[in-house]
Amino acid sequence: MIDTLHEALHIRVHRAGWPFIAGFAAISVLLLTQSGLLGALGLVATAWCVYFFRDPERLTPVRPGLIVSAADGVVSAIVAATPPEGLGLPDAPLTRVSVFLDIFDVHVNRVPIDGTVGAIRYRPGKFLNASLDKASTDNERNAVRIDIPGGGAVVVVQIAGLIARRIVSWIGEGAGVRAGERFGLIRFGSRVDIYLPEGVAPLVAPGQRCIAGETVIADLAGQEPARQAECR
C-alpha cells in the first residue's frame, strides 16, 4: 500500500501529454466557476489524463537476442500472419504476438530488440476495436522493421483503436535502436503487434500481462517450443 501511494505521488509524465493535461486543467477551472460538482469532475478527468500519460522507468534485460514486449497490456492473440506490406519482407506468414492496451495501461511504446530501423510504413485506416483480429489489417497503423545484427528482422506495429485517434513515433529509418528505448505512443486505447523472425517461438501465452521493455516475449537463441499456459 505504501509503495503504491509512493508511485502515485511520483508519476513521471511523458512530454507528449502535457498539452492535454493543460487543456483538461483549463477546462476544469472554467467548470469550477460554474459548479463545484462540474469542477470536481474536471479535476478527476485531469488526474486521469496525468495517469494516462505516465512514463515509468523500466528495467530491460540486456542479453543479445532477447525480444521484449513493446507495450504494456494483455496478450490478446498469438497467430501466424503476414507482416504489413512495404517493409521489404517476404510475403509469408510469421508468428504475430498481439498486445492489447486498455485506457488504464501505460501507452508509451518501447523498442523490442537491439538493431537498426530498416523501414517504416504508415497507413491510414479505420478505428475498429483494437482487440479484433481484423484491426491488424483494417485500422490505422505504423509498422517498423528492425533489422537484427547478424541477419533477420523483428516487426513492431502500432495500431490505433476504437478510441485512439493518434499514433506517435519519433524514430526514423536508419536509426540505431536498443531494446527498451522509448520510440512512440498511441493515445487512448490501442494495440501493438510484434512479428517474430521465422522459426522463433513466443515465450508468452494469450491472456498473459506484459510490461513494455521488461517482459521477454521471445529469445532468438532459445530452443524452447511455444509456451502453453492456463489459469490457476
Indicate if 96 and 163 belong to the same structural domain: yes
For residue 225, tell me if it sits in a domain.
no
For residue 28, tell me if it sits in a domain.
yes
For residue 123, tell me if it sits in a domain.
yes
Indicate if 96 and 24 belong to the same structural domain: no
Cβ contact 180:115 at 8 Å: no
Q: Which amino acid is at 73?
A: G
Indicate if 140 and 191 belong to the same structural domain: yes
Indicate if 102 and 181 belong to the same structural domain: yes
For residue 194, tell me if it sits in a domain.
yes
For residue 211, tell me if it sits in a domain.
yes
Indicate if 43 and 84 belong to the same structural domain: no
Cβ contact 193:156 at 8 Å: yes
HSE-up of residue 48 (Cα within 13 Å, Cβ side): 11
Indicate if 43 and 115 belong to the same structural domain: no
Q: What is the pLDDT of residue 8?
A: 47
Task: Compute the Cα dihedral for 44, 167, 115, 133 and give only its sign.
Answer: positive
HSE-up of residue 103 (Cα within 13 Å, Cβ side): 10
Cβ contact 218:196 at 8 Å: yes
For residue 232, tell me if it sits in a domain.
no
Structure confidence at residue 38 as a pLDDT band (50, 70, 90): confident
Q: Which of 6-15, 38-47, 166-175 has the lowest mean pLDDT?
A: 6-15
- The number of distinct structural domains making up the chain is 2
Q: Identify which has the larger pLDDT, 71 or 161.
A: 71
At 199, which CATH number?
A: 2.70.70
Q: Identify which has the larger pLDDT, 38 or 69.
A: 69
Indicate if 27 and 133 belong to the same structural domain: no
Domain that holds residue 160: 66-219
Structure confidence at residue 134 as a pLDDT band (50, 70, 90): low
Indicate if 126 and 196 belong to the same structural domain: yes
Could you read off the pLDDT of 14-27 as tens digits, one per residue? 676 677 778 778 88
Catalytic residues: 190
For residue 83, tell me if it sits in a domain.
yes
Indicate if 70 and 37 belong to the same structural domain: no
For residue 118, tell me if it sits in a domain.
yes
Indicate if 105 and 27 belong to the same structural domain: no
Indicate if 14 and 88 belong to the same structural domain: no
Mean pLDDT of 138-160: 91
Indicate if 214 and 142 belong to the same structural domain: yes
Cβ contact 113:145 at 8 Å: no
C-alpha cell at 24: 483538461
